Structure 1
């Protein structure tokens, strides 16, 4: 009798149900499939009606990726986007030169980069970023030229903070101390 009552009750709302209750698996599958299909058709129709429209995140990823690491299709799409927007072309040049300074530890080029970035009138956020770098120019130049970083220390600090969050309200300082010291 127990088994029969469990089988007769409707299923709970699951993420695939899109908020609808369904009694059997076939109905759930049909609901999920129709929602997925209509979403896919909507995206396909939108891309067919406006083929030059690109998502902001995709273009950002293309700009931030090294040009040699971009697949050929993305490289062509980026070239098409940059051809239609001169502000984005200027931004891409500034981003790539800054990335070159970061990866090759060329902090001595930073003052000229800041001058070029503050000279751009069509990119106010980039100009603002460059002006904020000037506030502590010596530290930024040292960070861009020195081969040392604080990554190992930051890793340990983040690990300790994670352990502290996990232990919050569960035990005293003695157990937290043991977990920090024994965790590797």
Structure 2
């Protein structure tokens, strides 16, 4: 599980690169990061263990992401160690966000497993809702007073539209899926 989280973080950094455009937008999508913790939490019915697994997976994915960012960016710092420290410091708000979202989504994943007979279906529904919600939040940042200062995305809208469409598809497929054993 932690290996998958590390691989996800590193792959996300490689996709994002250090340029602007569609790749940058895809690398900045929030939903996949939330799913790292949620899916980790699905491995246990214990809320506490789910929170710990969600935190561990999120931190592992973030460290993998920023390690690759430090390697592929062309900053002229003394060495990789100094550059990694710089990258981590410059992105500490995302690291702190992961310290909050990881345990919350991990515990939520554990709750889904304990609460629902078909936890995979419940997780698929949540996944669809998250994929739909992110583009709505991004769009809301442009119309809700005060959000523009919090959510400052000026990225390519196409990946968000695709994300929303995937969310609708995931939700439709999850809701059509018959219950386990049924």
Looking at both structures, which has the greater relative contact order when contacts are Cα pairs under 8 Å and sequence separation is at least 6? Answer: 2
Higher-Rg structure is 1
Task: Say yes or no: TM over 0.5.
Answer: no
Q: TM-score range by the shorter chain?
A: under 0.3
